[in-house]
Amino acid sequence: MKHGGILIFIFIVAFKGFAQNLLELKQRELEQLKQQERSLNSEIERLKLAQCLELLKIPGYPSSSVPLETIAHSAYVIGFDCSMKMPAWTFHLVTPDITFGNVSRTNDFRVDSAITCGSSEEKDYFIRAINTDGTYSHDGFGFDRGHLVPSADFKWSPIGLSETYFYSNMTPQRPEFNRESWAEIEGLVRKIVDAEKKTLYVLTAPLLSNDLKPIIRSVHQIKIPDFHYKIIADLSKETPRGMAFLMPNRKCEFRPSHYVVSIDSIEKLTGLDFFPNLHDSIARKIEGSADFNAWNTQSNNKDVEPLNALDLPKGCFNTEQAMSKVGATCTIIGKVVSAKFSSKSQATFINLDQSFPKQIFSVMIWKDGRKNFSYKPEVDLMGKYIAVKGRVELDKNGVPGITVEQEEQIQLFEEE
């Protein structure tokens, strides 16, 4: 190799070594920055959680004439009834941070060591046995370990989400209630927070009573609540509001609005005094009303809640009641919130109160029936309340509806 070639070879080797060292240096710098970011995020998380606990003190924890053990975790506070091995109340905030959170379920169910009188445990819900192949089998007692403070309310906080898996935050819930009806209410609260960009105060608990039946095989003979409630309150100066949901521990056939009650009514049932630190005038406004329509609960801004069944004429029913009228001929009243005309089939599809894909009642006008209309239903009925008379049937998706063949089957309905 000539002298010049040797110099070039040495230069290349030196450059490769320099580049490799520079790359390793930058990778170390990047890892240090990531570690700093993780530390900062962890610190921010703890500060946010501490702020949440301080905010809970403003309206005050529920007061009770019955002795309860009050435990403040990092993310929420509970008033624990030692005789029942369940909370008499749980109190937490749902903040707009849920919009950006991506923390997944941890499923780290565990006994709450902070409860000095002892919380419930796994053997209150099922028996776990190890198989010969090392896997586990479960002998369940027929109830879910139902969260009171939902884990999804803290998907922005690994600490907060993990804490929701304490058994002190659980009650025996029937699967169809826990996974469907109750989950819908929990999702509804998050939907309101996401839509309104406001922080909501949330109280959740079972209705406790010595008369409740126990789970016979439960190690602590924990009792099965007949009802659960969830209270939400907006304590902002602009729109102070409140309402509560009271739901039976089973699959609930009606929409969430059907289960809305005042916070005052829950106080009477439980003997608890919610938000004891609020000024009387504010407390009366928040606790005395039960207006579901005062909250932004709709995914589609055209959607509406079904009309109050008690306000409808005799023999007429709202869209929520339609399911119970399957097979009968009657009149269903609701607002046209979405409509579609298919040029291919010449059919018209109309949804009342709730639009696709969350429709709860549909009107179908097939090609032969449309010929009997003097107007375009999908255009002229849009946004109007109508009364539809006919036989209620279920479609292939299990949604009730009426097939209309004559124009006279649809009449405009004016609310009084």
Which residue segments constitute the domains of the chain, with CATH numbers given? 49-294 (3.40.570.10), 309-412 (2.40.50.140)
Q: How big is the chain, counted in residues?
A: 416
The per-residue pLDDT for 132 is: 84
CA neighbours closer than 13 Å in the CB half-sphere of residue 313: 11
The per-residue pLDDT for 13 is: 61
The pairing of strands 362-365 and 400-403 is: parallel
List % helix, strand, coil for the chain (3-state, nearest 5): 35, 25, 40
Which 3 state secondary structure label does DSSP give 287? Answer: helix
The pairing of strands 126-130 and 260-261 is: unpaired
Measured CA to CA, the distance from residue 359 to residue 362 in angstroms comes to: 7
Cα angle 226, 232, 236 (rounded to 5 degrees) comes to: 165
The per-residue pLDDT for 415 is: 64
Residue with tokens 């445990």: 121
The per-residue pLDDT for 320 is: 87
Bridge partners, 397 (sequence order): none
The per-residue pLDDT for 288 is: 93
- Has this prediction a pTM greater than 0.85? no
Note whether 115 and 71 are within 8 A (CB): yes
The per-residue pLDDT for 397 is: 84
The per-residue pLDDT for 99 is: 82
Which 3 state secondary structure label does DSSP give 254? Answer: coil
Q: How far is CA 287 from CA 182, 235, 240, 275, 365, in A?
A: 22, 11, 10, 9, 45
Burial per residue of 185-224, b for 16 or more beta-carbon CB atoms within 10 angstroms, e otherwise: bbebbbbbbeebebbbbbbbbbbbeeebeebeebebebbb
Which 3 state secondary structure label does DSSP give 144? Answer: strand
Measured CA to CA, the distance from residue 346 to residue 364 in angstroms comes to: 11
Measured CA to CA, the distance from residue 408 to residue 416 in angstroms comes to: 22
What string of pLDDT tens digits covers the 416 residues of the chain? 556 666 666 666 666 666 677 777 778 888 888 888 788 888 889 999 999 999 999 999 999 999 999 999 999 999 999 999 999 999 999 999 988 888 888 899 999 999 999 999 999 999 998 888 888 888 999 999 999 999 999 999 999 999 999 999 999 999 999 998 999 999 999 989 988 999 999 999 999 999 999 999 999 999 999 999 999 999 998 889 999 999 999 999 888 999 999 999 999 999 999 999 999 999 999 999 888 988 988 767 788 888 888 789 998 999 989 988 999 999 999 999 999 999 899 999 999 999 988 889 999 999 999 999 999 999 999 999 999 999 999 998 889 999 999 999 999 998 65
**Closest among 341, 117, 330 to 361, alpha carbons compared:** 330
